[in-house]
Chain A
Amino acid sequence: MSGDFAGPTWNLLRDAQEIFAYGFMQNAFLAGTVVAIMGAVIGYFVVLRRLAFATEALSHGGFAGATGAVVVGQDPFLGLLVFVCCAGVLMGILGDRLRGRDVAIGATLAFSLALGSLFLTVSTKLAGEAVNILFGNILAISASDVRFVVGFACATLLLIGAMYRPLLFASVDPEIAEARGLPVRALGIAFMVLLGVAVATAVQVVGVLLIFAMLILPAASAQNFTSRPSSAIGFAMLIAVGCVWLGLVLGFYLPYPPSFFITTLAFVAFVVTRQFGPSRLARGRRILASTPADEHRSASRTRGAALSR
């Protein structure tokens, strides 16, 4: 489709006018922006709760749900949503027992993809749909899909906002949060349901395979250089929205899919931010001093004393 264009004029106003002259680009920008903001917020908690791999598994599992729905003549988005939310509830109920169960999660992930491949062969209607489910097709998102995406994303954001402080407490230190009377288990299950909704929504933009780009990388990038929760969420939003907008513009002018650009930009943001900030310092510190920080510090004090003598 981009073959028709001469390319950007580098007059930003004229380029923007050209891009937004198309309904499908308006839809893509609206859906992409909303999903970026939602992904940044939910991703902050995904990283904090160490659920990155579980999120990936949840999303891949969604492939079986989406393809299965098409086989029985239902909307793939509905199948995805139902499947992912149910899997989310299950993960939430398992809760702490899920920690460190990489093999079990991976096995479930592989089985879900296998189911999806079975559904693909069973149904002939799926051939075109499959690539969209796997890699997303944000340029083909319809106006009614956009309404769904905006509705689900706003609902997710509202609910996360409503339980923000208890969820942060329960994510950082579940034992103390429970001792303070917070419903830690219920919060965990509620979060997994919201994560399921977020996954199903974000699949519209980047597909099940590239979900990491929307739900995890922006938040992980922000946490690479700031340890203030509000700043981390704010920067995650900026990174996510920046990746989506730039990805869409590149996808508009170049003959390659936006989900490729969005994912690549998010990956670059992660790699670049990893070179700065606390986690980098932590690694350096661990290499420099194999002793705990206390000892390290008292050792440097002793050295200072010796020098001044």
Chain B
Amino acid sequence: MSNDVVVQFENASVAYGRRTIWSGANLQLKAGEFVGVIGPNGTGKTTLLRALLGQVRLSSGQITVLGKPPGRGNPLIGYVPQRRTLGSDLALRAYDLVLLGLVGHKWGFGPASTAEKTAVLEAMEAVGAAEYADQPVGLLSGGEQQRLLIAQSLLTSPKLLLLDEPLASLDIKSQHEIVHLVEDIRRERGITIMLVAHDLNSMLEMLDGIVFIFRGQLVAGSLDDVVRTDVLSELYDTPVHVHVTDDGHRFVVGA
């Protein structure tokens, strides 16, 4: 039964010095669940991901990832950080960027083996990035770069995928494509997904739950609990309207 649990937070808290980021977090994610992480800027969403990666120590409580405490360099966690570094002048092929996900931690140098090449091309195929494998990363669009990073993160066969604002600064079409790609990955591979986002509209129908951080509290809830006009307005401290269409679709609108 407990094999099914991928992430477990028990009364977990994080503090930087005396400043508490969030505390008393209780949370359980099962295999193949897709949750959205929301909250105003600076409330500790990235810290949440870093805690799972073992890069931030808890000030109290505990976290288990796949039955173990978080450790550095866990290959069972795929991570796509918030993007700000891949510049337009980066002269590195898309293929070589993805390859780093497989061989980047090995010391020394040398050509990739045939098996490694095949694995990289398969991962690029799976995210629809094969056609620009030979292009320099710097020439690719934001959506194309996201696909590469997702392909890179899949190479270690992770059980948990952490995506930090993968939709930021993407146009609507690319946002839609990335969300559906993530959903396909979840369905086909049974990977648990935590996706940090500000705009949930494009993925509301796929989410199993929402984690939100509000006034230092990290709370998990169902869509019915969280995606409501009163809850979101209080969370973002500004009027937010949740519109429900006749066929039950929800849309979040900043009023």
A: which residues have CB within 8 A of B? Answer: 48, 161-166, 168-169, 172-182, 223-224, 226-230, 232, 278-279, 281-282, 285-286, 292-295, 298
Contact in complex: A278, B91 (CB < 8 Å): yes
Main secondary structure of the interface of A (DSSP, over half): helix
Contacts of B92 in A (CB 8 A): 48, 172, 227, 229
Q: How far is the CA of A282 from the CA of B92 in the complex (A)?
A: 13
Contacts of A172 in B (CB 8 A): 86, 90, 92, 97, 100
Contact in complex: A169, B89 (CB < 8 Å): no
B54 CB to closest chain A CB (Å) equals 9
Contact in complex: B109, A165 (CB < 8 Å): yes
Contact in complex: B107, A175 (CB < 8 Å): no
**Stretch among B9-17, B73-81, B180-188 lining the A interface:** B73-81
Contacts of B77 in A (CB 8 A): 179
Interface presence of B62 (CB below 8 A): no
Among B53, B109, B142, the one with the most A-chain Cβ atoms within 10 Å of its Cβ is B109
Interface presence of B72 (CB below 8 A): yes
Contact in complex: B171, A294 (CB < 8 Å): yes
Closest to A179 in B: B79
**Stretch among B120-128, B132-140, B192-200 lining the A interface:** B132-140
Closest to B162 in A: A179
B171 CB to closest chain A CB (Å) equals 6
Can you sample 10 A-B contacts with CB below 8 Å? A161-B109, A164-B109, A165-B106, A165-B108, A169-B104, A179-B79, A181-B72, A228-B96, A282-B88, A294-B144
Q: How far is the CA of A278 from the CA of B142 in the complex (A)?
A: 17
Q: How far is the CA of A226 from the CA of B92 in the complex (A)?
A: 8
Contact in complex: B104, A181 (CB < 8 Å): no
B88 CB to closest chain A CB (Å) equals 6
Interface presence of B6 (CB below 8 A): no
Q: For the complex, count residues of B whose C-beta is within 8 A of A.
A: 46
A163 CB to closest chain B CB (Å) equals 6
Name A182's contact: one of B73, B74, B91 (CB within 8 Å).
Answer: B73
Contact in complex: A278, B149 (CB < 8 Å): no
Closest to B104 in A: A169
Closest to B78 in A: A179
B124 CB to closest chain A CB (Å) equals 15
Main secondary structure of the interface of B (DSSP, over half): loop
Q: How far is the CA of A292 from the CA of B145 in the complex (A)?
A: 12
Interface presence of B152 (CB below 8 A): yes
A39 CB to closest chain B CB (Å) equals 18
Q: How far is the CA of A164 from the CA of B101 in the complex (A)?
A: 14
Contacts of B103 in A (CB 8 A): 165
B89 CB to closest chain A CB (Å) equals 6
Contact in complex: A176, B79 (CB < 8 Å): yes
Contact in complex: A223, B91 (CB < 8 Å): yes
Closest to B134 in A: A227
What 6 additional pairs, Cβ within 8 angstroms, besides A165-B104, A278-B91, A292-B141?
A164-B107, A165-B107, A173-B85, A176-B81, A181-B74, A279-B89
Contact in complex: A181, B100 (CB < 8 Å): no
A220 CB to closest chain B CB (Å) equals 9
Among B53, B97, B104, the one with the most A-chain Cβ atoms within 10 Å of its Cβ is B104
Contact in complex: A169, B105 (CB < 8 Å): yes
Interface presence of B55 (CB below 8 A): yes
Contacts of B106 in A (CB 8 A): 165-166
Interface presence of B43 (CB below 8 A): no
Q: How far is the CA of A293 from the CA of B170 in the complex (A)?
A: 11
Contacts of A176 in B (CB 8 A): 79-81, 100-101, 149, 152-153
* 8 Å CB interface, B56-83 against A: 72-75, 77, 79-81
A21 CB to closest chain B CB (Å) equals 38
